[in-house]
Amino acid sequence: MGILSGILIAGAVLVGSKVLYSGGKALYNDIKEEQKRRNTPCLFEDGFTEEQFVEMVVEAKKDIKRLKKYYVETAIVHGTALSQSGLSEWKFTIDFNDYGHLTGRYWIKSDNIDSTLPKVFADRISERIIQNRR
């Protein structure tokens, strides 16, 4: 291995470590921003009350047969769905808190990433939020 090869390898290591550092920093910033969003209290000042939001969730649930249980905690919807086989259940949450406001944007966490059920439910709720915002 010559001097030129050694210099190229050292340069590649420096560039690689810079990329890893900037990627790690970006991930850290994303996590901090996510915490800030979630920790901002939802005030229901966007044209409807918390009770009206719950009514939107109830309306959106209609005709989703595999959605067995759900409840609303401020701007977060928790759900339990039945598997397609009907032998087991799995859980998901849909977070509608967008820095303290209900804008129609949402974030899903699900035990079953292959299922579209949480997204279908979230889209229905989101449509109602957007239609009712002032």
- The helix or strand, by DSSP H or E, that contains position 70, with its residue range, turns out to be strand 67-73
| pLDDT tens digits, 110-129 | 999 999 999 999 999 999 99
Whether 70 and 8 map to the same domain: the answer is no
Provide the domain limits for residue 58: 50-132
CA-to-CA distance for 55 and 93, rounded, in angstroms?
Answer: 17
Global pTM value = 0.77
Whether 15 and 75 map to the same domain: the answer is no
- Per the structure, how many domains does the chain have? 2
Kindly state whether residue 126 falls inside one of the protein's structural domains.
yes
Whether 35 and 69 map to the same domain: the answer is no
> Nearest to residue 57, comparing CAs of 120, 117, 116, 121?
121
CA-to-CA distance for 13 and 2, rounded, in angstroms?
Answer: 17
Whether 61 and 83 map to the same domain: the answer is yes
| pLDDT tens digits, 36-83 | 787 888 888 878 899 999 999 999 999 999 999 999 999 999 999 999
Residues facing residue 92 across a β-bridge = 79, 110
Kindly state whether residue 67 falls inside one of the protein's structural domains.
yes
Strand 107-110 relative to strand 89-95, pairing: antiparallel
Number of Cβ atoms within 10 Å of the Cβ of 11: 10
> Nearest to residue 62, comparing CAs of 3, 128, 111?
128
